[in-house]
Every structure is written in structure tokens, then in C-alpha cells.
A and B are shown apart, each in its own frame.
Chain A
Amino acid sequence: MTATRNPTDWKSEAMRRRIGRRYAAERRFKLAGLFAVLLSAAFLAFLLITMMGNGLRGFTRTEIALKIDFPASPLLLDPNAITDEALNQANLPMVTGAVAKKALGADADALLAPTAWVSIRDAIRADPKILGRTETIDVPASTAIDLAAKSKGSPEAEAQVARLKQQGVLSTAFNGSFLTASDGTDPTQVGIWGAFKGSLLTMLVTLALSFPIGVATALYLEEYARKNWLTDIIEVSINNLAAVPSIIFGLLGLSIFLNFLSLPRSAALVGGMTLALMTMPVIVIAGRNAIKSVPPSIRDAALGIGASPVQVVFHHVLPLALPGILTGTIIGMARALGETAPLLMIGMRAFIATPPGGITDPATVLPVQIFLWSDEVSKGFVEKTSAAIIVLLAFLLAMNGLAIYLRNKFETRW
């Protein structure tokens, strides 16, 4: 005897409730997914907005209009013979201090940045005739005043700012020296040029090493290598290197390049070599995918009219695969540009006040500079750190944008 079952009553109350529950679960699940996406995106937005909020102030500086009566000042300069030497001998820092005391009161030393005299020197150099008259020059304010004017200073500095505002001498200007100066001890005078140049040199070394080696490896593995134990080991090593933590590459650089080969410490050369070992697997993997996507018919056609295997690859496959390889290279370079840990290991965290002149000079790079500034106690470094982060992110964004543009432009469908 077969068990008979009544047909399901879709309209019954129990069934309707059950379906309602299932649909509610469906809606909840979908909302949870949306929530996860939005939360992740919100975190990114929060990060960027925080950095912008802190960092954009780092591109500006507070200036104090200093009225200088040059003929009456103790400045010994001949307007007709302004040379660098004469300016150096004129003892401008002391003169500036004296003039500031007269104009702003006894606490002038606390108001002006230690580098305030540089603005006066530049003004004299630009127009020596001002030595004959009274001139008002905007000079950078000290860190305490700068912070207070941007609304987060100490009570003492707040009072000074209020007084200066009353005198109407405070102004805010673009801080050009942030892009042209190097590391320093006072947050009003530091800049990123030294670290930026270090980054450029390091990237240059990385690119010069990892691109040819990476492309050659990809070509060999994809086009020529027979399947045997050697190529197996090569493949395993490459996949493994791509997943090794970056700090391990720093340990490698330290013990091989510095201790064993005794190459110069803190130099862009060693930094670039270390990062090249990290970037090479990325380029190899991207390169192999690009080469793989070139259709075999192109190789067959070239072989068919008598080209040698090397000619097939260098005349036909490589040019077709190059856009894909370049995209992978740019992504790998962007990763190398943001890398910090391995460079700490090889000593690129030194205090470097002069931009490096070559790849063997002591240098630092942007991410390491950010790390070093983040450790500074002085409050003024917070906005400088964020400003440096903005510069770094802008470069990364530009590189990734270029990679996406290249990918879209050269995307070929066979």
C-alpha cells in the first residue's frame, strides 16, 4: 500500500508564515552582504578622509608678517653686491631675531620658526633694493604658533595667536618647502624631497633589475622550458617567493648584500636589489599570463615561414604580450614603492638631511620617512606625516590608474 499525501495547501496560514520567514531571511542575508560591502568601503573612506583632514594642513604653513626697517637694522649688506657669501656673512639668523624682538615683542623667538631668516634672505636675493626701505616680509611661524593657528595648540600659544591675530600679521600660505626640503628636526622645516628622491632611485634600481630578469624568466618558462624537475623547482620557488613575507627579504638583504657582499648600508642600491627580488615573482607571474594569452596560431605561423624559436618569441610573442607584462610590472612597482619593512632591515631608516646624489649614497624612501615621522614626539609632525602619506597615496593611485589604463587600452581579444 502506498502512502498517499495530501497536496500542499500553499494558501494555508502555516505555509504563508513559513514563506514569509524564508523571504525575511533572504532580505536579511542580502542586507548583510550590502552592509559588509559598505562597511569595507566606509573604512577606506574613513582612512582617506582622516589622512586628508590631517594632511592637507601639512601643505600650508602659518606665516607672520614681519615689518623690517632695513636701513635701521643692524644688517651690514651692500645692496649692489649681494652674493651668497655676503649673505652668509651677514649673520641673518641673529639679525632676524633682533628685528623680530623689536616688531613682535620679547617672546618673538617663540613665535618665529628657526628658519624664518631664510625667507628674508630669499627676499633680499630676489630684490636687493629692499635693503634701502622698510619692507614687510612673511616669514614662517614656529611649530607651536602654527598648530595653535590651525586650532589645536597649547593655551600659551593660543594666547599668542590671539594677540598676533589682533595685530593682523598672521596669514596662511602654501608651504612650498614641504616639497623641496629634506628631513629635519623641526617640523616647520622638514620636507619630502630627500625621501622622494630616495624612492625614485630605489625604484630605478628595482625596475632595472626585476623587469629584464622577470621577463626573461617568464619567457623561458612559458616558451622554451621542457617539463622536468628543474622547471618544477623554478616554478615552485617563484610561487613561493611571491608569498614570502616581505620582512624575510629584508633579512636576506641584510645578511647577503650587507654582511656578505659588504655593499653600502642605507643605500638605494641595496634597497633596490632587495625590492627587485620581491618584485620579480610578481612580474614573472603576470608575464606568464600575458605570454600564455598570445594564441599559438601566431607562433605556428611564424615557425611555418622559417623563423627560429628565438625569433618567434622576440619578434612576435613578446611584442604582443608586452602590454600585459607592463601592467603587471607597474602593479609590482607600486607594491615595491609602498614597502617599508625590508628597507628598515637594511638600514634605510637613518636620518638623512641631504637628498642622495647617487644609488650608493645613504638614502631613505617615502614610506620609511612616514614611519620615522610617525615616531616623532613633536606634535607638528602629525600633519607632516599625513601630508607625506597623501603624496605617497597620490603616486600609488597614479601608478595603478596607469596600469588600469594600459590594460584597457591594449586589451586584445583573439
Chain B
Amino acid sequence: MTGPAILLLLAGLGAIAWVSARARALRLQTVARASGRRDAVHSLPGYHGWYVALWTLIPAAIFLAVWANVAPGLVTQSVLGDPAAQSLPADAFSRAAVLGEARAIATGQQAGAFNPLSQGLVEPYRAATTKYGVAGAVLALVLAFAGGAYAFTRVRPDFRARTRVERLVMATLLIASLLAIITTLGIVASLLWESFRFFSMVSPIDFLFGLKWSPQSAALGYGNDDAFGAVPLFWGTIFIGAIIAMVVAIPLGLMSAIYLTQYASPTVRKWMKPTLEMLAGVPTVVYGYFAALTIAPALRDFAAAVGIHGASSESALAAGLVMGVMIIPFVSSMADDSIAAVPQSMRDGSLAMGATTSETIKRVLIPAALPGVVGGVLLAVSRAIGETMIVVMAAGLAANLTVNPFASVTTVTTQIVQLLTGDQEFDSAKTLAAFALGLVLFVVTLLLNIVALRVVKKYREAYE
């Protein structure tokens, strides 16, 4: 029996269970009320319905989930026991290839066989698949009936169906919230695991402090010793994300926030704030394309015109400028919040002393809001160094240790994409290096976020 059909059948059984249990509970309620005991039935009929339906569905669903993982192994066992499997090659690899082909033909994914051996296995495969499919379906239905019947016998006036159902709801909510922890653990575990494998091949010291990055030469067998020095990548990341992008984003973001909170009329603010926020909503691939197609060639021509040598069409400046523009809304909304959090009395006091608005802003509001602004800038840096598409499309691949903004540099995220989108063998240092880079990126952004949140939090408490 096919998967969707059995699921549909189970859903039908669940619905029947719900309806019949609810009907029974309703009858009990009517009987109890007729005899004048209004509170004789503990739970509403709907809860009895849910209780029975859940008992019908959940054991069967759990069984099906387990079965879906166990059945393929059983099917393979059964096929291998078939007389036609006697002629299979002895080594595990070609055996698996033949079995895979037979499976593909049996499930209709593949029309004909390349290997004549697999053709003979198709029929045993189909037979075994059908056998275990039917067995699984029958067992699931039996479980559904058994669960439903057991629950149905418990539909009595004094049975606390609501408590049971609500306990399940609470458990579901708790499990859902645990998923965030599981995801975090998954990230940390997968990064650590692959990074350990990488560091068993390449020394962490060489990785963190080496000055030469050329994983391609390592892959070609020229030795791993000095090919995985990540310092040029760290420098490129900092140069683009923390220097060039911030030179654009901090003044523009901060001044925008000041103008929109202190000077602009409500109408201007109403229109300009969402407009600036649109900058954060544009997908990064669009920024990357814009940087690579429009900004980078323009910058190269400009550099050539003013006589700067070594200008590349993939420059740190193009990627940094565009990234800075993308970051403006982050800086400005954080600055906006922290300026708004400065008590009005401080502003009024300064103005009453005769200071102009700009003097008030520069000498009172900004110093008071500074921790919040710094926190916002740190969050923006963390965002900028984790940004991928702009640098992949506009910053280039050459691992240069340069301070020339017109030269091509590469970043951590660019290299992760480069290392993982070619041919993938998960035993080579080249592929695993991506996870080591990912680990560094994760740790650095995590630290930046923690520091930023600390700074913001500490400041928030100051005026309360």
C-alpha cells in the first residue's frame, strides 16, 4: 500500500474516532443532565473526541515513522536472500550499485537496466517491497484500531479527557521550543565535528596565523603545510565588513537617524523611515549583482582615470560600499531607538540653557545614547562579516593581504561558498576547511552579538 493512501486512511480513522467518541460523550452528558447532575461529566464531549482520535493516530504515526526507516533494510535483506541474488559480485561497492539500480527500476525512477544483473533483481525487489509495504500498513492499522479501542473504552463521565489532551498540548509546545536549542546544538556540533577532522590534517596554528591561502594547490597534492593560512581571509572580511562598510554606514546611518528623529517633520519621517528600511529588505543577491555589474566597473574606471595601479574589476571597495548601504538601516534604527530612549528632560534642559539643537544633539543626546549606538554598530559589523552574496559576487577570489581598496580581496564567506560548491568529497582538507571557517565565523559573530547586547542592556538600565 502506498504512503499517501495509508496516511489518508489513518486520517479517516482519526476522524471517525473523533466523531464517535464525541457522540458517545454527548450521549453520556445528556443522560447525566437528564438525571439532574449537571456536573457529572468532567470534560466537554470535544475533548473526549480528541483524546480518542489522538490515541488512534499517534501510536500508528510513530510506528510508520519507525517503519519507514527500518523497511528498506528489511527489503534489501529479503532481496539478498532471493536465489537471483546469488550471482551478485562479492565486493560491497558494486553490490550496492546493482541493488541501487534494481531499486530505481522497481520504483519506476529508471526505465531500463545498465547492468543485466539488476534486471533479474527487479522482480524480487518489487515482491519484497510489496510484502513489507502491506505488512507495515496492516500493523499500522492494527495499532490505530487498538489505540482507538483502548481510548474509547475510557470514555466515561468521570474520565478527565481534557486534562490528558491538555497535557499533550503542553508537551508539544515544550518540544517545539526545545527545537531552538537542538538547532543551536546541531550547528555547534556539526561545525565542531567537521572542524576537528580538518584540524587533524592541518594544524590550528597554521590555519589561524598562516599568511597564505591556496586550497586549490593543496587539493592538487602540493602539500597542506602552508596552503590553509586564513589570515588573508580574516583581513579581507574585516577590511570589507568592519572598515569600508562601516565608513559608509555609520555616518549615513547616524546622521539619518538624527535628522529623522530631531529635525524632520512627521510627514517626512513617516515616508523616509520606511524608505530607508527598504534598503534592508532588498535581497543581498540583488545588491551583489548591482555591485558587480554597476559599481565595480565604475570604480575600476575611476581608479584608472586617476592613475591608481592594480585596480581590479572585483574590488574590496565595490563590495564594501554596497554592503555599507545595506547596513544603513540597521545602524539608523538602533541609533533611532537609543536616541529616543534618552529622557526628554535632558534634551529640554540643554535647550533651555540656550544651546542650539545641534549642540544639544552633539553634547547631550549622542553621549547619552552612545552605548546604544555602539551596540547597534557592533550588531551591524556582525551582520556585515556574515554577509555572503555581496562579497561572493563583487569582492573576488584572490586572497590578498592588501590595504588598497581597489584591489581584489576575498572573505571568509566567499571562500566557504567556493570550497563547498565544487566537487565534494568529505574527506579532503579542502572541503573540511569550509567548516573550520564557518566555526570561526560563528564564534566571532556570536561574541560580537553577546558584547553588543550587553552594551545595549547595560545602557538601558541607566535611566530607569
Contact = CB atoms under 8 A, between A and B. Distances in A.
A106 interface: no
Interface stretch (B28-36, B118-126, B272-280): B272-280
A26 B358 contact: yes
A275 B392 CA distance: 20
Interface of B: 162, 166, 169-170, 172-174, 176-181, 183-184, 186-187, 190-191, 193-194, 251-256, 258-260, 262-264, 272, 274-276, 278-279, 281-290, 292-294, 325, 328, 356-359, 361-362, 379, 382-383, 385-389, 392-393, 413, 416-417, 420-421, 426, 434-435, 438, 441-442, 445-446, 449, 453
A43 B328 CA distance: 11
A224 B173 CA distance: 9
A104 B191 CA distance: 61
27 contacts: A22-B359, A23-B356, A30-B263, A37-B255, A44-B282, A216-B177, A234-B181, A237-B184, A243-B382, A244-B187, A245-B383, A248-B386, A248-B442, A251-B191, A252-B187, A252-B190, A277-B183, A280-B180, A314-B169, A338-B282, A338-B284, A340-B388, A341-B392, A344-B421, A371-B285, A371-B288, A371-B389
B190 A389 contact: no
A389 B286 contact: yes
Interface residues of A, number: 83
A50 B297 CA distance: 14
Interface in A230-261: 233-234, 237-241, 243-249, 251-252, 254-256, 259-260
A217 B275 contact: no
A396 B282 CA distance: 8
A29 B361 contact: yes
Given A237-B181, A371-B389, A51 B290 contact: yes
Given A33-B256, A396-B283, A243 B445 contact: yes
A25 B358 contact: yes
Contact of A44 (B258, B279, B288, B417): B279
B283 A34 contact: no
A32 B262 CA distance: 13
Nearest to B324: A43
Contacts of A22: 356, 359
Interface of A: 22-23, 25-26, 29-30, 32-37, 39-41, 43-44, 47, 50-51, 54, 212-213, 216-217, 219-221, 224-225, 233-234, 237-241, 243-249, 251-252, 254-256, 259-260, 277, 280-281, 284, 308-310, 314, 334-335, 337-341, 344-345, 349, 367-368, 370-371, 374, 382, 385-386, 389, 392-393, 396, 400, 404
For the residues of B in contact with A, the DSSP-based class is helix
A225 B379 CA distance: 28
A379 B464 CA distance: 60
Contacts of A308: 162, 166
Contacts of B293: 54, 374, 382
Contact of B194 (A36, A240, A255, A344): A255
**Residues of A contacting B: mostly:** helix
B182 to A, nearest CB: 9
Nearest to B287: A47
Contacts of A29: 357-358, 361-362
Contacts of A23: 356
A37 B272 contact: yes
B169 A310 contact: yes
